[in-house]
Chains A and B, each alone.
Chain A
Amino acid sequence: MSQGTNYILGVYEDEDVLMRAITTVRESGVKIEEVYSPFPVHGIDDVLGYKRSWLSLAAFLFGITGTCLALTMMVGMMGVDWPMIIGGKDYIPIPSFIPVTFEMTVLLASFGMVGTFFVTSNLKPWGKPRIYDIRITDDKHVMAIDLDGNDKAESEIKSLLEGSGASEVNSKKFD
């Protein structure tokens, strides 16, 4: 994530206005860093031109790690290190290992995905999450534009946001 310091925030009341505003702002060549909304807005990823998240790939990789780990562990313990016959089965009864393998796959996939999400969205324990506007958890949509990442002047962007239907346009500085 880019970490600019000077932001312009457009506050929107309605998601339809927001969607149209995103299109207007992007068409005029201004880069939007992020849009925050209190609920999921359908189709917003397409309008923002976001690429597909890599989170699902991370989940798959964590999951497959869990599969391998569980199988290695059980085959190593039950088949190699201390072979035992249980219930008249082979030393390495793969069907008996499936439930544990499944659980390990799910466990690692879900923990890994949550962890990845926390790290990438700056919610990690040592991270300091930025709060652009406290009302994004309540009833306002906020479009964050990084001033350093754009060539346009501050006043030009501000008037663009006002013209696109923003109820407020604020500036915000981070350390």
Chain B
Amino acid sequence: MVTEERFEFTVTAKKQLVITLLVGVVLSVLGYFTLGSGSHGHGHDHSSDHSEVVEGDQGSEPYGAESAETDHGDHHGHHGSSPSVKRLLSNLWINNVFFAGLAIIGVFFFAIQYAAQAGWSAGIKRIPLAFGNWLPIAFVLMLVVFMVGGHDIFHWTHSDLYAEEGGDKIVQGKAPYFFWPLEGGEFPLFWIGRLVIFFTVWFLLFRKLRSLAFSEDIEGGTVQWYKLRSTSAIFLVFFAVSSSMAAWDWVMSIDVHWFSTMFGWYSFASWWVAGLALTLFIVLLLKDKGYLSIVNANHIHDLGKFVFAFSVFWTYVWFSQFLLIYYAHIPEETVYFLERWKDDHYAPVFYINLIINFFFPFLVLMTRDAKRHSRILKVVCPAVVFGHWLDFYLMVSPGTVGHNGGFGFLEIGLILIYLSAFLFVALNALSKAPLFAKNHPMLNESLHHHI
């Protein structure tokens, strides 16, 4: 029957990832130190005095802090750190959110296969499952970046917004969501608590799923399969709520005056399609190296259909959010797209986001052949993963750095650092166990999969 396969995480592969990481470090250091003196002329002049009022310097101020505010003017200009520090923190946050999302999406994919009793995916399930090993690292990074740079990323963390006199009424109304049971402006207990609970439950359920999957491999039979199915169902229920709330907490609350009821789905769709594309890309690379002999064009086709279909799904959710705001034309809602679409600084990203995440995969992956041939998929998958990073970039940057944002060495470097570290952790975990479970009860179904 099927022989067991083990992925060997070779020294060469490790070296390549470490070199990529070092290149990323060099690029980000280079990018960071060329920021202050470069064309981004606002420089370090606000770094010394936080309460300084700078009139007529809107260019350096993130929109979230000013333009949507109704109750107060410039006297709350939280200039905080210098633009380059802000840009660094903002980018760290984008990568934290994006890669934490990829990690949990891996577990989500695994869980959904069991909950749906899917057989076709028996050969590839462990690749997305390995993404979950990034979760503890993502948790620590997120907590550290929030503790260090929370004030530069999240406008709502500033305590003077919650003052009786001259505070911000809108943010005050949302205070319990961040600070409960404490008063607004104190330690954001509820927000941090959610972060901790989400990651803890995700990680524990991931561990449970992983150990059940491994014992299923050794023992065979269907006992573990049924346990996996019920654990998956529990995970999916928790994930449905937590992924939405995580999107509000980590991304939507940056533009604290604004809200969208589509946001949870929108972020989820972005994570999900990026995770699917990354899974497919790794499957293709592993096949090239001679692994995954039981995966054939039919399985690739199914994964390709996933990437195609959920690119359309992302666009559907994106457009649902956009059209309602566009059509209703309510100022406190339209400001979100004013900053992204009708703004010279971010408009190119806005259009690239749509092209790379919708038109490109939609038109290229439309035919059957494109979804079965690795040459086309190997172009589309990385593009889609990057496209959804760009999507998160567009969600976060206008609210954190405004016109001081950009895409340069710093951004590329940080992507390389996170990506290589993420892949290192995932591939390392993948090499610890066989690539697929030889005793999986549905392995035979997967072998005969034909579409």
Please report A residues at the B interface, Cβ cutoff 8 Å: 42-43, 52, 56, 60, 87-88, 95-96, 98-99
CB of A54 to closest CB in B, whole Å: 12
Q: Which residues of A contact B367 (CB under 8 A)?
A: 56
CA distance A31 to B285 in the complex (A): 42
Ordered by A's residue number, 19 sampled pairs between the chains whose C-beta atoms are within 8 Å are A42-B450, A43-B450, A52-B368, A56-B367, A56-B368, A60-B366, A87-B327, A87-B329, A88-B329, A95-B322, A95-B323, A95-B326, A95-B327, A96-B323, A96-B326, A96-B327, A98-B319, A98-B323, A99-B323
CA distance A76 to B327 in the complex (A): 20
Q: Which residues of B contact A52 (CB under 8 A)?
A: 368
Does more than half of chain A's interface fall in helix, strand or loop, or is it mixed?
A: helix
Please report B residues at the A interface, Cβ cutoff 8 Å: 319, 322-323, 326-327, 329, 366-368, 450
CB of A52 to closest CB in B, whole Å: 7
Q: Which residues of A contact B323 (CB under 8 A)?
A: 95-96, 98-99
CA distance A21 to B128 in the complex (A): 42
Q: Which residues of A contact B319 (CB under 8 A)?
A: 98
- Per CB-CB distance, the 9 closest pairs between chain A and chain B, nearest first, are A42-B450, A95-B326, A43-B450, A87-B329, A88-B329, A95-B323, A96-B327, A87-B327, A98-B319
Q: Which residues of A contact B329 (CB under 8 A)?
A: 87-88
Q: Which residue of B lies closest to A88 (CB)?
A: B329
CB of B324 to closest CB in A, whole Å: 11
Q: Which residue of B lies closest to A96 (CB)?
A: B327
CB of B256 to closest CB in A, whole Å: 26
Q: Which residues of A contact B322 (CB under 8 A)?
A: 95
Q: Which residue of A lies closest to B341 (CB)?
A: A95
Q: Which residues of A contact B368 (CB under 8 A)?
A: 52, 56
Q: Which residue of B lies closest to A52 (CB)?
A: B368
Given contacts A88-B329, A96-B327, 7 further A-B contacts (CB under 8 A): A42-B450, A56-B367, A95-B322, A96-B323, A96-B326, A98-B319, A99-B323
CA distance A52 to B319 in the complex (A): 34
CA distance A117 to B136 in the complex (A): 54
Q: Which residue of A lies closest to B328 (CB)?
A: A87
CB of A89 to closest CB in B, whole Å: 8
CA distance A87 to B329 in the complex (A): 8
Q: Which residues of A contact B327 (CB under 8 A)?
A: 87, 95-96
Q: Which residue of A lies closest to B367 (CB)?
A: A56
CB of A107 to closest CB in B, whole Å: 17
Q: Which residue of B lies closest to A95 (CB)?
A: B326
CA distance A157 to B327 in the complex (A): 68
CA distance A96 to B27 in the complex (A): 43
Q: Which residues of B contact A96 (CB under 8 A)?
A: 323, 326-327
CA distance A56 to B322 in the complex (A): 31
CA distance A98 to B316 in the complex (A): 11
CB of A94 to closest CB in B, whole Å: 10
Q: Which residues of B contact A95 (CB under 8 A)?
A: 322-323, 326-327
CA distance A108 to B157 in the complex (A): 52
Q: Which residue of B lies closest to A86 (CB)?
A: B327
CA distance A161 to B348 in the complex (A): 66
Q: Which residues of B contact A42 (CB under 8 A)?
A: 450
CB of A4 to closest CB in B, whole Å: 31
Q: Which residue of A lies closest to B449 (CB)?
A: A42
CB of B333 to closest CB in A, whole Å: 14
Which of B323, B327, B368 has the most chain A CB atoms closer than 10 A to its own CB? Answer: B327
Q: Which residue of A lies closest to B451 (CB)?
A: A42
CA distance A88 to B327 in the complex (A): 9
CA distance A95 to B329 in the complex (A): 13
Q: Which residues of B contact A43 (CB under 8 A)?
A: 450
CB of A61 to closest CB in B, whole Å: 13
CB of B354 to closest CB in A, whole Å: 11
CB of A29 to closest CB in B, whole Å: 27
CA distance A42 to B319 in the complex (A): 37
Q: Which residues of B contact A98 (CB under 8 A)?
A: 319, 323
CB of A59 to closest CB in B, whole Å: 10
CA distance A110 to B329 in the complex (A): 34
CB of A2 to closest CB in B, whole Å: 26
